[in-house]
Structure 1
């Protein structure tokens, strides 16, 4: 005899003894019980070759209409070719609604199984209300744990924000947050004078960019490439630059980022003096009694001399000098009665040693008659 325990319809445990399966000595019901017993295994039971099991059946269902009420047992469903139907829709989440009517008020949402959150604030009368968006990795109830600021993007523009700004009524937009990896998110009032701010938080599950505002828009054109020497039908990508009609900022230092400088004629500036408005030119007659200013001082900027010409039409030879303030930085000989000017092009421009100093010119011998022309620019 074989005995085993079974549970009857009333939930009571009873012992059933089954004789050996020989011939027709075992009633069909008892024989079936033996077979069923051989298919029932305790948890963590090792597999043995030759063991039998029950065939699991499912129902073909060409439509997705419900076949059971909420909370009822139901069957697995197959499609028309026998494949198991699985959920093709993200999970549904109830809308979270809460009021904030004081400074520090909070509305939180558990998001450990969601990917995105949409937040909207609704109010009829509101004064001095502002809130910040925060997330937590270790909160258990939306209040405890460590919290940090997270980014949200407005629903009506590619504007990324970490706070609502001051609100006086219902905004015409909501905020979307990517909450992948977060346990909780919340809205926390950082300012509030009066009124009630009602916040709505809707959770969702779907794939998205970490920050949806990182998408290309009409203000961020992306065009295709065009092969060299081929007709171009694409809109060009504008290379960054700024048109300057005056000298650039004097606060830039080594290692700073800076924009390329363009002239008002859309020409790229390739040296500091190429900004037309920064160039200077001068002409005059030198003397031995006083220095002649050829480039006036400019606050925060240095003078540079790129070209210089002179001609001595007097009967006395002399030397011609260019001074940085009072220090001689260039010297040339001017013979008597020069038939043509001497033209000097400085490949490496003369650079003033300090900002806000002038370049001056003079001849060193009385009786000489020296005229000059000079040009240069102002830069750092």
Structure 2
């Protein structure tokens, strides 16, 4: 009888396996049939591929009361950073691809994002509000260095004096200080660096192709020195894995000039439950039971509760303690003394043809 092949971690990748998309009727199982090697270590490394996105709109809308913005831009679908816990992984199923390794190796890029954005901002009905960049996948993931789509989007937002908030795990954001600093002087931009852990070895296992924690903190300092207001998201907090680092992350952020901080308790919707479960089997088998039990206690007996008002923070003893620790630390460190607001009053719609000049 053929034996199923046990999934093993791939060098430089976060997910251990590649489960089928939830909309796929077929079930696939890798087996060793005796013809050749079944050892994944002998297979060629997974390469990143990039396909074009044919969407005709670039601004995504949401009505969630848990999120402080109603519109966002994601230049890429899928993310090469490979964060195993990424809540965006299930969106790859809509493309007919796996939320596992496909999500971090088969990327989709909106090459004409800047042109689409210009068209949408030029509509007479458009009303400005803070535009979020990097809410689903990271706008500064490794392929951005080559494609520059995020930079093109920033140029349109700067040209139109459009307010903006950025979330990233990459030091690459500092490349665009020349665009962001003038926007910051007009009160148009806020940047948040997501820092899950200060342990570079744990970071390498959880988020293998993101900038190291030290480099992310360096980005906070460089942005602040350039006059670009910056904060840190200590997310996600994972019980019995990185939650003990909460205060240390906030202290490090404050010492590098961060003005704001936030946190989110680990979320495991849809396929992420399976992906994270497999990751724990490989990277933290001794703590797996405790981690999942605490998560269930904080999620009403389930691994995930999508209820608004609770899905970000959870409830119960652990969740309450985490919230109190966060409040005490931010108060002590002088974080969150003000709201990270942006100015929406300076927006100027773009000309339909960027080569045209306004007469008045």
TM range (shorter): under 0.3
Task: Indicate the structure with greater strand content.
Answer: 1
When normalised by structure 1's length, the TM-score is 0.17
When normalised by structure 2's length, the TM-score is 0.18
Higher relative contact order (Cα pairs below 8 Å, separated by 6+ residues) = 2
The structure whose Rg is larger is 1
